[in-house]
Amino acid sequence: MSDANHNQNPVSGGTSNARPSEGRPMGRGPMGGGPMGGMHMGENAKDFKGTMKKLIDYLKPFLFSIFIVITLAIGSSVFSIAGPKILGKATTKIFEGLVGKVSGIPGAGVDFSYIENIILLLIGLYVVSALFSFTQGYIISGVAQKVSFNLRRDISEKINRLPLKYFDTKTHGEVLSRVTNDIDTVSQTLNQSMSQIITSVITIIGVLVMMFSISWLMTVAAILILPISMVLTAFVIKNSQKYFKQQQAFLGQVNGHVEEIFGGHLIMKAFNGEKRAVEAFDGLNDKLYRSAWKSQFLSGMMMPIMIFIGNLGFVLVSILGGWLAIKKTIEVGDILSFIQYVRQFTQPIAQVAQISNIIQSTAAAAERVFEFLEEDEEVSDTANPVSPQGIIGEVLFKNVHFGYRQDKIVVNNLNAVIKKQLNPLMPICLLRHCLMAMTWF
Amino acid sequence: MLLIALLSMAATVIVSFLGARVAAGLSKKLRENVFRKVVSFSSTEFEKFSTASLITRSTNDIQQIQMMMVMLLRIVFYAPILGVGGIIKVLNSDYSMGWIIVIAVGAILILVIVLFGVAIPKFKMIQKLVDQLNLVTREILSGIMVIRAFNTQKHEEKKFEKANWDLTKTNLFVTRTMSLMMPLMMLIMNAITLLIIWVGARQIDQGAMQVGNMMAFIQYAMQIIMSFLMISMVSIMLPRATVSAERIGEVLDAEISVKDLPNPQHFFSTQKGLIEFRDVSFRYPGAEEDVLSGISFSAQPGQTTAFIGSTGSGKTTLINLIPRFYDITGGQILINGIDIKKVSQHDLREKIGYVPQKAILFSGTIESNLVYGVESTTETELTKAAATAQAIDFIRSKEEGFAANISQGGANVSGGQKQRLSIGRALVKKPEIYIFDDSFSALDFKTEAALRKALREEKTDSTVLIVAQRISTIMNADQIIVLDEGKIVGKGKHHELMENCEVYQQIALSQLSREELA
């Protein structure tokens, strides 16, 4: 093939350089970036604990940054959680003013200076919260990128320490895909999971506290919805994951077939194998289609189900809230705040449900990287190397045995002396059956 | 309220169901069409696109489009309805606060445009830097022996470090820019809520609005903002899918250079395997000069015709013209007296047993590879072909024998074994014409000699064409054709050529001594 890349587009150049099919999801899989953005479901790591430990070792130099991130996450979540509650006060004030006016109390009306203060306070709170959450994201992406930088550097140094036989059994594509695809996955998921775990957990706790402070009865009602929501999402995730795995497997097979047929197209043509290739392809493609639409449909169900449950919560909360407001147990503004809390509540729960998947794919990608970093290395140089001074260029082979692999010895018990030639251009000729081995001397 | 919520969910589920089927169905159809098209490509098209690029186009690019379709169906149709619905509601309920929505949407759009305006050029740069990093790694991997021999590991690591750092730096910039988005988005949404309350409070005070209306207004505002957010996110992703669609379109629109006639002729069965070249010339598409010109010869059934010449003399090109991997640009090639352009490619290739320079096996078993070209065969014939190809010993040494697995690309057998199976595959077919394109060079001399002897005994009435590098492979051929720079410079038997062909003498003497050649 004359010019392997002359038709490649720069946009997809990154992935196309690595071998496109290795039975693994390519790029970000068909789900990334969708409404369920970050639905990373892939293969699991074989040794989850061990891999995580190693990954944490890489995170250790950034312990201080991570500590700051946690503090900021707490700050930003607390501020944004406090918002609705304070906002509720403003709404109540408006309502009270209105009620006062309607009842004809002289001088009554909406207390604008009070509302103005609250709004100014809230603007301050929201700005600080945004600032915190940006700083948090800023630091975390720094950590994630530097960890990937270190991983990549370690891989490049490892390449130079591996015995040559390693490269006889592995294609360049496999090594390349570790340098790019796997480390990319690690850095992306690291970024996501670190910030999401912290914020989600804090948000859930904080929102719960706030909800209870408004009305325990309404909170209980809202929480009663939770088990339904959890069971449903667990059911959807479980099923869609099954089809997703199938889809990835069939995708790998389809891509493998494509690679094989395109790579061997001369043979396929010469032996009239077109029909057979197309038939095999159609079979695989159909299987892929069946699992693909099911996987997409099920993952697409998440949103409507979550929205429905959210709506269910709204209905319950509104009815209860109205009743409690009539009984004067709570204020009108509180209903507004509470509805906002319920809305904030369902989101982190869905996120927590997905975090385990994100961590799984981080581990799976990280494991491949660590596997590479832990390959047996070439025997290091001798501890006390002889000084090369005084060497005149003589090579002596003494009972040399050599094979590319342990079970395949190519050179057996070779004895030879190669003297420094008077005429440096005169080549050394070895027997023809050693021709193949010559490059190795 | 409950009923509406339930209906809304049911509708969304149906949309999601249809969307998933449409998106998956579309990519299935697309994948199928692209595959069929590429299978019908001749070598010319494969070289035009490059195999690697064709693979990416039929896998990665189609995946991109499928992703985009799912998003489009799920969001793009949903979001505008949500947004427009919200706007209608807002306009109906209260005119005097509509301007807040305009501000909100404007703020969101400005934010998205500014952020992506900054980030997208960098996104493209990231692709280039990833390529750069791949390139450096590839160089290290392919030059690993040289690096070790010259002790330049430190230098290579420095080069890698630079590419690595460039990528990290740009990645950092992009992720940090993007981490601005969520906080700012939240800030805008919160600020809009505050604005609505501030303005709403005055209206309520004037008795123009009710508290409940204000709350509803906040909900609608959020809904509208969300839908605009979704649309702007998707529209950012659109360009990438467009690029993929273009690349797939190029494949589907490609003109195929080797085609069958509408009403192809059929071969007569009187003659078997007679090949005639009549003043054949050939040039690669887009090339300035002919690679082959004025080629005329005939190859007789039952005889071996060998081709020799220096690298680039056109040997492989010449024999690739016979199975019509390429179509000639001048002259005629006849098989059994019929122009090969006038018969169907299928009929033509049925007659040919082709063994390529680089052995290619398909995943499956040893048997499935050997019987690749035929409908059915007997076990004795299979064993016989394997024996002739000198493959029977290593097949027998395997536990599963003929049922032993062959992994993709034949990675689990050695180069020599691959070549022997590739020869066996052509033998099982029992064709009228054998084409060996330098197929013996992966074998050692002893195996090659045994193979040539077995072949001589086997194929008595077939036409055999051999391209070779080694003189010893072809010394005994019935006809040797010497090629130099795309032209025939000698034709005849070994001893004739030793006397009258200078090019042949040079090749022969560079490989064997005078005594061996005599």
pLDDT of residue A434: 39
pLDDT reading at A171 higher than 70: no
B185 contacts in chain A (CB < 8 Å): none
Per the CB < 8 Å rule, is B186 touching A281? no
Q: How far is B188 from chain A (nearest CA, A)?
A: 9
Task: Reduce the DSSP state of residue A439 to 3 states and report it.
Answer: coil
Q: How far is B412 from chain A (nearest CA, A)?
A: 10
* A175 and chain B in contact, CB less than 8 A: yes
Residue B111, token pair as written in the block? 């934010």
pLDDT tens across the length of chain B (518 residues): 778 878 877 887 888 788 888 888 988 999 999 999 999 998 888 888 877 778 878 877 887 788 788 777 777 667 777 777 777 777 776 657 778 888 888 888 888 888 878 877 887 777 778 778 878 887 887 777 788 888 888 888 888 899 889 988 988 888 888 888 878 888 888 888 888 888 888 887 777 777 777 777 887 888 788 787 777 777 766 766 777 888 889 899 988 888 888 888 888 766 788 899 999 999 888 788 888 999 999 998 888 899 998 887 888 899 999 999 999 998 999 998 889 999 999 889 988 999 988 888 888 889 989 988 887 788 888 898 888 888 888 888 888 888 888 877 777 788 888 889 999 999 898 888 999 988 887 777 788 888 888 887 776 788 999 998 888 888 888 999 999 888 999 999 988 888 888 888 888 888 877 767 66
- Phi, psi values for residue B307, rounded to 5°: -120, 130
Contact partners, residue B506, CB within 8 Å, separation at least 6: none
Closest partner residue to B39 (CB to CB) among A153, A266, A278 is: A278
* B111 and chain A in contact, CB less than 8 A: no
Per the CB < 8 Å rule, is B23 touching A296? yes
Per the CB < 8 Å rule, is B325 touching A10? no
Closest-CA residue of chain B to A435: B444
* B425 and chain A in contact, CB less than 8 A: yes
Per the CB < 8 Å rule, is A157 touching B39? no
The residue-averaged pLDDT of A205-230 equals 80
B179 contacts in chain A (CB < 8 Å): 134, 137-138, 140-141
Residue A383, token pair as written in the block? 């501890």
Closest-CA residue of chain A to B326: A266
* A235 and chain B in contact, CB less than 8 A: no
Closest partner residue to B127 (CB to CB) among A11, A277, A314 is: A11
Determine the residue among B15, B31, B361, B429 to mutate to test chain A binding: the one whose Cβ has the most chain A Cβ atoms within 10 Å. B31
pLDDT of residue B257: 85
CB crowding A47-70: b at 16 or more within 10 Å, else e: eeeebbebbeebbeebeeebeebe
Q: A430 falls in which pLDDT band (50, 70, 90)?
A: very low
Closest partner residue to B60 (CB to CB) among A27, A129, A131 is: A27
Closest-CA residue of chain A to B193: A87
pLDDT of residue A396: 67
Q: Any bridge partners for residue A408, and if so which?
A: A405
Nearest-angstrom CA–CA distance, B180 and B186 = 10
Q: Which one, of A216, A205, A208, A221, lies nearest residue A318 by Cα? A: A221
Q: Which of residues 212-231 of B touch A (CB under 8 A)?
A: 214-215, 218, 230
By CB neighbour count within 10 A (0-12 exposed, 13-18 middle, 19+ buried), where does B430 fall? middle
pLDDT of residue A354: 65
Determine the residue among A196, A275, A308 to mutate to test chain B binding: the one whose Cβ has the most chain B Cβ atoms within 10 Å. A308
Give me the amino acid identity at B168: T
The residue-averaged pLDDT of A200-220 equals 83
pLDDT reading at A440 higher than 60: no
pLDDT of residue B35: 93
Q: Which one, of A390, A82, A298, A111, lies nearest residue A206 by Cα? A: A82
| pLDDT per position as a tens digit, B202-239 | 887 777 777 777 777 887 888 788 787 777 777 766 76
* B21 and chain A in contact, CB less than 8 A: yes
| pLDDT per position as a tens digit, B382-417 | 898 888 888 888 888 888 888 888 877 777 788 888
Between the CA of residue A288 and those of A46, B69, B460, what are the distances in Å? 26, 16, 48
pLDDT of residue B275: 92
Determine the residue among A96, A141, A151 to mutate to test chain B binding: the one whose Cβ has the most chain B Cβ atoms within 10 Å. A141
* B211 and chain A in contact, CB less than 8 A: yes
pLDDT reading at A45 higher than 70: no
Q: Which one, of A105, A213, A186, lies nearest residue A373 by Cα? A: A186
Closest-CA residue of chain A to B345: A272
The residue-averaged pLDDT of A34-60 equals 65
Per the CB < 8 Å rule, is B74 touching A33? no
- Phi, psi values for residue A332, rounded to 5°: -60, -45
Q: A283 falls in which pLDDT band (50, 70, 90)?
A: very high
A236 contacts in chain B (CB < 8 Å): none
Q: Which one, of A131, A116, A122, lies nearest residue A86 by Cα? A: A122
Q: Which of residues 337-376 of A touch B (CB under 8 A)?
A: none
Per the CB < 8 Å rule, is A140 touching B205? no
* A120 and chain B in contact, CB less than 8 A: no
pLDDT of residue A379: 64
Q: Which of residues 237-276 of A touch B (CB under 8 A)?
A: 251, 254-256, 258-274
Nearest-angstrom CA–CA distance, A165 and A146 = 31
Q: A417 falls in which pLDDT band (50, 70, 90)?
A: low
* B266 and chain A in contact, CB less than 8 A: no
ipTM, interface predicted TM-score of the complex:
0.78
| CA angle B317–B318–B323, rounded 5-degree value | 90
Between the CA of residue A55 and those of A61, A161, A250, what are the distances in Å? 12, 22, 31
pLDDT of residue B53: 75
Domain boundaries along the sequence of chain B? 95-208, 275-517
Closest-CA residue of chain B to A116: B198
Lowest mean pLDDT among A11-25, A126-140, B166-180, B306-320: A11-25
Determine the residue among A265, A286, A343 to mutate to test chain B binding: the one whose Cβ has the most chain B Cβ atoms within 10 Å. A265
Per the CB < 8 Å rule, is A262 touching B55? yes
pLDDT of residue A240: 76
- Phi, psi values for residue B375, rounded to 5°: -75, -50
pLDDT of residue A42: 43
Q: A15 falls in which pLDDT band (50, 70, 90)?
A: very low
Residue B241, token pair as written in the block? 């899918």
* B12 and chain A in contact, CB less than 8 A: yes
Q: How far is A231 from chain B (nearest CA, A)?
A: 17
Per the CB < 8 Å rule, is A12 touching B148? no
Domains and CATH numbers, chain A: 41-373 (1.20.1560.10), 395-438 (no CATH)
pLDDT of residue A401: 64
B373 contacts in chain A (CB < 8 Å): 271-273
Determine the residue among A2, A3, A5, A17 to mutate to test chain B binding: the one whose Cβ has the most chain B Cβ atoms within 10 Å. A17
Give me the amino acid identity at B37: K
pLDDT of residue A408: 53
Share of chain A above pLDDT 70, in %: 69
The number of C-beta contacts closer than 8 angstroms across A and B is 385
| pLDDT per position as a tens digit, A361-387 | 777 778 888 888 888 876 655 556 666
Per the CB < 8 Å rule, is A110 touching B350? no
Q: A40 falls in which pLDDT band (50, 70, 90)?
A: very low
Per the CB < 8 Å rule, is B60 touching A142? no
Q: Which one, of A378, A417, A272, lies nearest residue B373 by Cα? A: A272
The CATH H-level (homologous superfamily) assignment of domain B275-517 is P-loop containing nucleotide triphosphate hydrolases (3.40.50.300)
A307 contacts in chain B (CB < 8 Å): 8-9, 12
Nearest-angstrom CA–CA distance, A197 and B166 = 30
Nearest-angstrom CA–CA distance, B107 and B125 = 28
Nearest-angstrom CA–CA distance, A183 and B457 = 58
Residue A222, token pair as written in the block? 């809202």
* B141 and chain A in contact, CB less than 8 A: yes
Per the CB < 8 Å rule, is B202 touching A2? no
B325 contacts in chain A (CB < 8 Å): 266, 269-270
Question: Assign residue B273 a region: left if phi > 0, alpha if psi is -120 to 50, beta otherwise?
Answer: left
Per the CB < 8 Å rule, is B28 touching A270? no
Closest-CA residue of chain B to A89: B197
* B32 and chain A in contact, CB less than 8 A: yes
pLDDT reading at A429 higher than 60: no
Residue pair A26/B59 in contact (Cβ under 8 Å)? The answer is: yes
Closest partner residue to A145 (CB to CB) among B142, B168, B372 is: B168
What average pLDDT does the structure give for chain A? 73
Nearest-angstrom CA–CA distance, A342 and A337 = 9
pLDDT of residue A350: 65
Per the CB < 8 Å rule, is B63 touching A1? no
Residue B153, token pair as written in the block? 């590991």
Between the CA of residue B240 and those of A60, A399, B61, B72, B127, what are the distances in Å? 37, 61, 10, 13, 12
What sign has the CA pseudo-torsion A142, A144, A148, A150?
positive
